[in-house]
Structure 1
Amino acid sequence: MAQQGILTHGDKPFKRDKISFILSNPFYYGYFHYSGELHEGKHEPVIAKKLFDKVQKVLKQRSKPRRKEKIPKAFTGLFHCGECGMMITAEIQKGHVCYRCTKKSKTKICNQSYTREEDLDQQLSFMIQKVFLRQDWAKQMLKMLEKDREDTAQSCFAFAQENQEKIKELKQKLQFILDSYLDQVIEREIYLEKKSEVMSQVKTLEEQNIRFEQKQNDWLEPFREWINEAANAAKIARDNDLFVKRVLASKIFGSNLVLENKKARGSAQNQWAALNPDLRSLTVVPRAGVEPA
């Protein structure tokens, strides 16, 4: 306000509490306080009530004491302590991020010391690089997966077409039942029974088509994502983005990561366990009909 030339009668800048008082005055949006009550004024509002509310929200936030912003630690909660089983947390020690056991066990005394982040990062990177997918394997697997997608799409299309023909026949049957009822060939009770039966069959076939359309690629896309992720694992391990590395490590090792005596260890889970370093010298055998690249 002082920079805009708005000063007190003594040509001094307004104090913060006075500025807050001024900005909290409902007079600006057309109301005023009198005898402790809020009244609607007859004067023209200076600002909209919506803007006034926004200002009050900002004032309220600024009036709260600011908490010291915590710097996120990439590997917090990723490891368990190998000695007592508690979670591994992190803190700043002499300018370095260090990881340690929370030592919250009520039954065990934990003697584990700190491990610096750069040391833990190096060990985790080495562990990730042991379960990467070779690029030539990834290309072959993606090619095979694309063939599977095409085959599945053809099968689903054929199934849907067959169901559509059945639905068409059933709708013709519905029309025949209706005509028979209108021509008084069949009684109302029989008409309603047959109509309900045929409509139920139509609904079943329509839902089958919807389910097939939704689920035909349910396993293909997640598998494609995993292949690409596994092929990029070595690159992620070498990069310096610790948070991306953490996400990948969580997928590979799950809750199996342990830190003990400054050494990290863990076993890969699910499909990642198949990426054994001893198997990388083998060759992917394509399924019938898929030629090697």
Structure 2
Amino acid sequence: MENRGSEKSVIYARVSSKEQEREGFSIPAQKKVLREYALKHGLTVAKVFEEAETAKSSGRKQFSKMVHFLRDNPDIKHLLVEKTDRLYRNFHDYVELDFESLGVTIHLVKENEILSRDSRSHEKFVHGIKMLMAKNYIDNLSEEVKKGQTEKAAQGIWPSNAPIGYINKLENKTIVPDPKKAPLIAKAFEMAATGQYSLAKLKRRLYEMGLRSPRAGKELGKEAMSRVLKNPIYYGPFKWKDKIYQGVHFPIISKELFDKAQFTMGFAQKPKLTKRDFSFAGIMTCGHCGCAITAEQKRKKSGKTYTYYHCTNGKGSCENVTYLREEKIDEAFADALLRIQLNDEIIEFTRTALIDSSKDEREFRETQIKALNERYTKLESYISQCYQDKLDGHLEPDEWQSKTAVWKSEQEELSNRLNALREANTNYMLEGVKLMELANRASELFKVMTPEEKRETLGLVLSNSRVVNGSVEYDYKKPFDMFVNVTDLSKWRDLRVLNISRNLKHHFGSISQSHTLPTGS
């Protein structure tokens, strides 16, 4: 039952994220504190306004409704809110409220401050500074979110809302295929690849099959359908802030199907070969003098153009400047990828072994996180109750401050431990399986890759690629060095599995390989 005091008030409560709600800033908790304050000070609560959305920009619905309500009801003279950053998020909110012209008194309950048109100049100045601090907080929060998103992208994790066909998995903040929509997305690419569908016909057919837009639940528009078909995230890589990252999520389609759909729908643009777009530019050095290997094109009398690679001889002392045809280098690197190909029997055996070996570690980690979260929540309740005791006069300010400092210090330590546990690379076992699957397909995919994709793949698998006496030599990076020429499951079972599970983070030395190439044309 509301207090029936002599003056009326409104309550404004807001959370800006699910995280804040979990951290003890929930709307019910705010309303409880504010109602108790109203009762203690003889104020009638005429209306409660609740906001549960992030809003850096102005125009929050409940905030605006509250301002209009105060204008339409001049007999309401008090606004109760927990603290400054619950009320304002930007300067526009400050201007829109204009508490002096409304004749409203603001009660910042947790800051133990009351502000009205009769407040002293320095009090209004301090309030303005706090408003700017609230704006600075959200600006910093926004920057931290952007920074965190970029860091997630660099780890191969899609950092935003899942695209249609995937859903966000809250447990580890990744995306996984949507059981209902992923098959329809795969079907969309298959249909597009046949060349028998226009965008209009394709989107209509998919609607009939059950595909709906995520928000409106309607048929996808032509632009939305086009964006789906052009999005490489469905076979692995994704674009974030104008940069391409290799995703760690499970692909819905193959790259071959994606490429075919691009071609048949007219999306693909054939890459133009320029002097800066040679397939192996910048990834090899001369094994004799250490200078870079460069590429150039030469035209024969027949008019046919060939691409050759040779030492730049930048030091002027190389005695073995050999010209190698690009086709021969391509064959050498394709052979390098073929040598790490594993058969399906070995991959399936190792997948089972690795997943089994990671279960105990994952369960132990989850138990630790649960226990730490429970302790953090309990400390939050201690802090809230202690503050209430201070408001009620049951606790002296010095004692409240001392107890709160101890609990907050423990919370900070808990947060650090939780972050360490969450950021720990506990998926390295599953990443090992993905690396083997990549190794199994690398040689086949290499044949149809663009120059840029070839360089990226070779950079992932090989290191120290060099030309020595007409040969391309290279070292396999870890853990691909363990896959070289492995075909026998019994030998792999006896000699490799334990090493993989033990050394996905700390691998053995690399294996140097060479491939002799003919020189000249």
TM range (shorter): 0.5 to 0.7
Assess if the C-alpha contact under 8 Å between 1:128 and 1:233 holds in 2. Answer: yes
Deviation at 1:231, TM superposition (A): 1.9
Residue 414 of structure 2 corresponds to 205
Deviations 1:72-124, CA, capped at 9 Å, x for gaps: 21011221112222111111122111111111114x13332211111122222
Q: 1:21-60 residue pairs with structure 2 within 5 A?
A: none
Q: 1:132-281 residue pairs with structure 2 within 5 A?
A: 132-147=341-356, 150-175=359-384, 177-178=386-387, 181=390, 187-215=396-424, 217=426, 219-220=428-429, 222-236=431-445, 239-241=447-449, 243=451, 244-254=453-463, 256-277=464-485, 280=488
Residue 308 of structure 2 corresponds to 98
Deviation at 1:158, TM superposition (A): 1.8
Deviations 1:37-89, CA, capped at 9 Å, x for gaps: xxxxxxxxxxxxxxxxxxxxxxxxxxxxxxx9536210112211122221111
TM-score in terms of structure 1 length: 0.62
Structure 2: which amino acid aligns with 1:232?
A: R
Q: Max radius of gyration: which structure?
A: 1
Question: Secondary structure at 2:291's aligned position in 1?
Answer: coil
CA distance in 2 between partners of 1:176 and 1:236 (Å): 62
Structure 2: which amino acid aligns with 1:73?
A: F
Name the CA shift for 1:143/1:181 in 2 (closer, same or farther; >3 Å). same
Residue 75 of structure 1 corresponds to 280
Question: Secondary structure at 1:110's aligned position in 2?
Answer: coil
CA distance in 2 between partners of 1:166 and 1:252 (Å): 44
Name the CA shift for 1:249/1:183 in 2 (closer, same or farther; >3 Å). closer
Tell me: higher relative CO, structure 1 or 2? Use CA pairs within 8 A at least 6 residues apart: 1
Deviation at 1:268, TM superposition (A): 1.3
Question: Secondary structure at 1:241's aligned position in 2?
Answer: coil
Question: Secondary structure at 1:225's aligned position in 2?
Answer: helix
Q: Which moved more, 1:113-122 or 1:127-136?
A: 127-136
Assess if the C-alpha contact under 8 Å between 2:461 and 2:477 holds in 1. Answer: yes
Assess if the C-alpha contact under 8 Å between 1:152 and 1:216 holds in 2. Answer: no
Assess if the C-alpha contact under 8 Å between 1:236 and 1:245 holds in 2. Answer: no
- Count of residues in Structure 1 that have an aligned counterpart in Structure 2: 217
Question: Secondary structure at 2:492's aligned position in 1?
Answer: coil
Deviation at 1:185, TM superposition (A): 5.9
Name the CA shift for 1:194/1:214 in 2 (closer, same or farther; >3 Å). same
Deviation at 1:188, TM superposition (A): 2.5
Assess if the C-alpha contact under 8 Å between 1:181 and 1:187 holds in 2. Answer: yes
Question: Secondary structure at 1:257's aligned position in 2?
Answer: strand
Pick the aligned partner of 2:326 from 103, 112, 117.
117
Name the CA shift for 1:111/1:199 in 2 (closer, same or farther; >3 Å). closer
Question: Secondary structure at 1:232's aligned position in 2?
Answer: helix
Deviation at 1:197, TM superposition (A): 0.9
Question: Secondary structure at 1:104's aligned position in 2?
Answer: coil
In structure 1, stretches of 5+ residues that fail to align are 1-67, 288-293
Deviation at 1:195, TM superposition (A): 0.7
The percent of aligned pairs where both chains have the same amino acid is 18
Name the CA shift for 1:199/1:258 in 2 (closer, same or farther; >3 Å). same
TM-score in terms of structure 2 length: 0.37
Deviation at 1:189, TM superposition (A): 1.8
Tell me, yes or no, if structure 1 residue 84 matches structure 2 residue 289.
yes
CA distance in 1 between partners of 2:486 and 2:348 (Å): 20
Assess if the C-alpha contact under 8 Å between 1:96 and 1:116 holds in 2. Answer: yes
C-alpha RMSD of the superposition: 3.1
Deviations 1:14-57, CA, capped at 9 Å, x for gaps: xxxxxxxxxxxxxxxxxxxxxxxxxxxxxxxxxxxxxxxxxxxx
Assess if the C-alpha contact under 8 Å between 2:467 and 2:473 holds in 1. Answer: yes
Deviation at 1:161, TM superposition (A): 2.1
Assess if the C-alpha contact under 8 Å between 2:286 and 2:293 holds in 1. Answer: yes
Deviation at 1:153, TM superposition (A): 4.3
CA distance in 2 between partners of 1:283 and 1:82 (Å): 33
CA distance in 1 between partners of 2:391 and 2:277 (Å): 75
